[in-house]
Amino acid sequence: MTNFDQIRAIAFDLDGTLVDSVPDLAAATNATLLELELPQASEEQVRGWVGNGAKMLMRRALSFALGNEVDETRLTETMPKFMHHYGLFLEKHSCLYPNVLSTLTALKQAGYRLAVVTNKPYRFTVPLLEAFGLTDLFDHVLGGDSLAQMKPDPLPLNHLLQQWQIKPQQLLMIGDSKNDILAAQSANVAVIGLTYGYNYGEHISLSEPNEVCDDFGQIGQLLLSK
Ligand SMILES: O=C(O)COP(=O)(O)O
Ligand SMILES: [Mg+2]
Q: Where are the domains of the chain?
A: 9-21+95-224, 22-89
Which atom of ligand 1 lies closest to the CA of 51? 3
* Residue 20 counted as an annotated binding residue: no
Which atom of ligand 1 lies closest to the CA of 180? 7
Between CA 212 and CA 63 the distance in angstroms is: 32
Identify which of 179, 157, 180, 181 has the alpha carbon closest to the alpha carbon of residue 170.
Answer: 157
Confidence of residue 15 (pLDDT cuts 50, 70, 90): very high
Query: What's at 198, amino acid-wise?
Result: Y
Compute the distance from residue 60 Cα to the ligand 2 centre, in Å.
17
- Segment 143-156 shows an average pLDDT of 98
Is 88 exposed, middle or buried (CB count within 10 Å of its CB: 0-12, 13-18, 19+)? exposed
According to the model, what pLDDT value does residue 132 have?
98
DSSP3 helix / strand / coil % (the chain, rounded to 5)? 50, 15, 40
Model pLDDT for residues 165-208, shown as the tens digit of each residue:
999 999 999 999 999 999 999 999 999 999 999 999 999 999 99
Confidence of residue 68 (pLDDT cuts 50, 70, 90): confident
Q: Regarding the domain delimited by 9-21+95-224, which CATH topology (the fold level of the hierarchy) does it fall under?
A: Rossmann fold (3.40.50)
Annotated catalytic residue 13: yes
According to the model, what pLDDT value does residue 125 have?
98
Q: Is the CB of 20 under 6 A from ligand 1?
A: no
Compute the chain's Rg from CA coordinates. Answer: 17
Compute the distance from residue 32 Cα to the ligand 1 centre, in Å.
19
* Residue 15 counted as an annotated binding residue: yes
Confidence of residue 226 (pLDDT cuts 50, 70, 90): low
Is 90 exceeded by the pLDDT of residue 69? no
Residue of 5, 13, 136, 215 marked active site: 13
Q: Is the CB of 119 under 6 A from ligand 1?
A: yes
Between CA 46 and CA 58 the distance in angstroms is: 10
Is 90 exceeded by the pLDDT of residue 225? no
Q: What is the DSSP letter of 174?
A: E
Mean pLDDT taken over the chain? 97
- Segment 65-90 shows an average pLDDT of 96
Q: Is the CB of 177 under 6 A from ligand 1?
A: yes
Between CA 106 and CA 161 the distance in angstroms is: 22
- Quick check: 49 and 82 in contact, CB under 8 A? no
Between CA 139 and CA 108 the distance in angstroms is: 10
Between CA 80 and CA 61 the distance in angstroms is: 15
Ligand closest to CA 16: 2
Between CA 183 and CA 190 the distance in angstroms is: 10
Q: Is the CB of 21 under 6 A from ligand 1?
A: no
* Residue 176 counted as an annotated binding residue: yes
User: CATH number of the domain at 22-89, please?
Assistant: 1.10.150.240
Ligand closest to CA 28: 1
Q: What is the DSSP string of 43-84?
A: HHHHHTTTTSHHHHHHHHHHHHHHTSPPPHHHHHHHHHHHHH
